[in-house]
Structure 1
Amino acid sequence: MKVRVVGAGIVGLACALRLREAGHEVELVAADRPENTTSSVAAALWYPYRALPEQAVTRWAARTYEVLAGMLDRPDTGVSLRTGRELFPRPTGDPWWADAVPTLERVPPAGLPTGYADGLTFAAPVVDMGTHLAWLLDRVRSLGVGVTWGRVRHLTDALAGVDAVVNCTGLGARELVHDLTMTPVRGQVVIVEQNGLDAWTLDQSDPRRPTYVVPRAGTIVLGGTAEESDEDRAVRPETASAILERCSALVPQVAGARILGHRVGLRPARPAVRLEAEDHAGRGLVVHCYGHGGAGVTLSYGCADDVVRLVSERA
């Protein structure tokens, strides 16, 4: 089939790659280059964050974990595997997505920082998004996927000349398919210089101000915020200061680390990820794949496999 993928974030690029590998003729069109998408701002720690439904998300996340783990011997992909811990102020049970990770253990009481009553530790893929998105774009182009930069305003336009469209527009689905259930969730992060930190740390006890420290090869991502219905992409100095203070308290090793930059992204949240196929007014097949919340990286390759199945079933 001839397929047009709309959107060049991690989900769109993963779908384009898998569709091409499955033998379809693929082209990709997007309003924003990968380095300008929300995906590029992500701390990109594998973690099923703000995404439902539980059963499907667990399956998509497990598959993506497997795919990313298979890239560990490829430095050009920007993927590493890092052990870290999530900390809780009160005792807690295992997360609903526990089956998606190979191992999940409790942090021993002696290993908990002051103020925390429980913790989980596990190894998770961490993706340097600048490197990975560039690798994905190069990969799809090398396989013959045509790439065009431009905004698609109507599905009928996207369907012109192709058999199927894959809608990976994220927050753009509000306009493209008039999905008013989409909600922007503003995330601001601070990028600091790597100073030898290897383990990630996460504290989500304040839902509006999740605190996380995620090391990469050359940088460390400090976050963050989760501000619903806030579409301000400007960096807020007072928010950056609060992030630095919280992260330094959680992981003293990052205190005083040289600041390299500030980023803001809008997570494409939805009551549930939309991954389904529909016939569009007799003009062709549309497969929707958007609404991944804060888990676009975590679900990307798993969702791409389902997209390929839905397209191939109609071939």
Structure 2
Amino acid sequence: MRVRVVGAGVVGLTSALRLAEAGHRVEVVAAELGEGTTSSVAAALWYPYRATPTAQVSRWLTTSYAVLDALAGDPSTGVRLRSGREFFREPVPDPWWRSTVPSLGRITGDQLPAGYLDGYQLTVPVVDMALHLGWLAARLRKTGIDIRARRLADLPAALAGVDAAVNCTGLGARELAGDGELSPVRGQVIVVEQFGLSEWLLDQNDPERLTYVVPRGETVILGGTSEEGDADREVRPATAEAILARCAALVPGAAGARIVSHRVGLRPARPAVRLETELLADGPVVHCYGHGGAGVTLAYGCAEEVVQLVSQLN
């Protein structure tokens, strides 16, 4: 089939790649490419943050973990397996996604920083999105797939000249698909030079003021925020100062790291990920959006389901 994928973040590019591998003729169009996508801002730590429903998400994240685990052997993909720790202010049970992670241990007693009562230690994929988005785009171009910057007005425009469209526009689906259930969750981060850190750390005890320190190859991501309904993409200096202070409290070396850039992204939050086929007068659209803060965590699993839904249209 001739399929147009709309959206060039990690969900759109992985869907396009899997569709091409399944034999479909694919093109990708997107209002934003590369550094302009929300995916490019992500700390991209494998973690099912703000994604539901649990049953489907469990399937998608398990597939994605396996794919990213396999890609970690190739440095060009930007994927690495990294050990890390998550800290809690009170005792917690094992996470619902426990069975997906091969090794997840508990941190207790003097292994915990002051003020924390419980914690996890686990190894998960961490993705340098600048490298991974470029790797995906290169894979697509090698198969002859065009990736073009183009803003579409509506879903009929997405279907013009093709047999089916795949809507991977994230927050853009509010306008493209008229989805009023989508809302932005603002995330601000600081990118600093690598300062010798190999372990990621996470504290989600304050749901709006997250604290995470996630190392990549040459940089470290310091975060962050989770501001409901806030679509402001401008960097807020006071917020940056607060992020740096929180991160330095967990990892003192972060305080002296050279700042490379400040970034803001808008997570596409929705009561549930939308992954389904809609039959319009102009043709079928497979929707795949609303992944919250778990785009990288779910992308490869969702891409496989996108292929299944497109194949059912024949």
Would you say same fold, with TM above 0.5? yes
* Alignment match, 1:300: 299
SS in 2 for 1:172: helix
* Alignment match, 2:287: 288
Distance 2:159 2:211 in 1: 42
CA contact (8 A) 2:9 2:34 kept: yes
Distance 2:153 2:85 in 1: 43
**1:122-175, Cα deviation, whole Å (9 max, x unpaired):** 101110000110111111111111222110111111111111100000000000
Distance 1:108 1:22 in 2: 47
* Alignment match, 2:200: 200
**1:1-53, Cα deviation, whole Å (9 max, x unpaired):** 11000000000000000000010010111111122100000000000001100
Counterpart check, 1:33 vs 2:17: no
SS in 2 for 1:255: helix
Counterpart check, 1:165 vs 2:159: no
CA contact (8 A) 2:108 2:117 kept: no
The worse-fitting range, judged by mean Cα deviation, of 142-151 and 114-123 is: 142-151
* Alignment match, 1:90: 90
- State the AA in 2 paired with 1:308: V
Q: CA deviation at 1:55?
A: 1.2
Q: Percent identity?
A: 63
SS in 1 for 2:82: strand
Distance 1:199 1:308 in 2: 35
Distance 1:186 1:94 in 2: 28
* Alignment match, 2:229: 229
SS in 2 for 1:70: helix
TM-score, normalization by structure 1: 0.98
Q: CA deviation at 1:284?
A: 1.6
Distance 1:109 1:84 in 2: 17
Distance 2:100 2:49 in 1: 13
Counterpart check, 1:189 vs 2:220: no
1:1-315 alignment to 2 at 5 Å?
A: 1-281=1-281, 283-315=282-314
Distance 2:105 2:117 in 1: 15
CA contact (8 A) 1:59 1:100 kept: no
Q: CA deviation at 1:65?
A: 0.8
Q: CA deviation at 1:253?
A: 2.5
Q: CA deviation at 1:110?
A: 2.5
CA contact (8 A) 1:79 1:125 kept: yes
User: Could you say what the CA RMSD is over the residues aligned between the two structures, in angstroms?
Assistant: 0.8
TM-score, normalization by structure 2: 0.98
Distance 2:298 2:33 in 1: 20
| Structure 2 unaligned regions, length at least 5 | none
Q: CA deviation at 1:257?
A: 1.1
Distance 2:172 2:63 in 1: 26
**Where has structure 1 moved over 4 Å in runs of 4 or more?**
none
Distance 1:290 1:47 in 2: 17
Q: CA deviation at 1:280?
A: 1.1
Distance 1:159 1:120 in 2: 46
Length, aligned pairs only: 314
SS in 1 for 2:256: coil
Distance 2:21 2:34 in 1: 20
Distance 2:222 2:60 in 1: 26
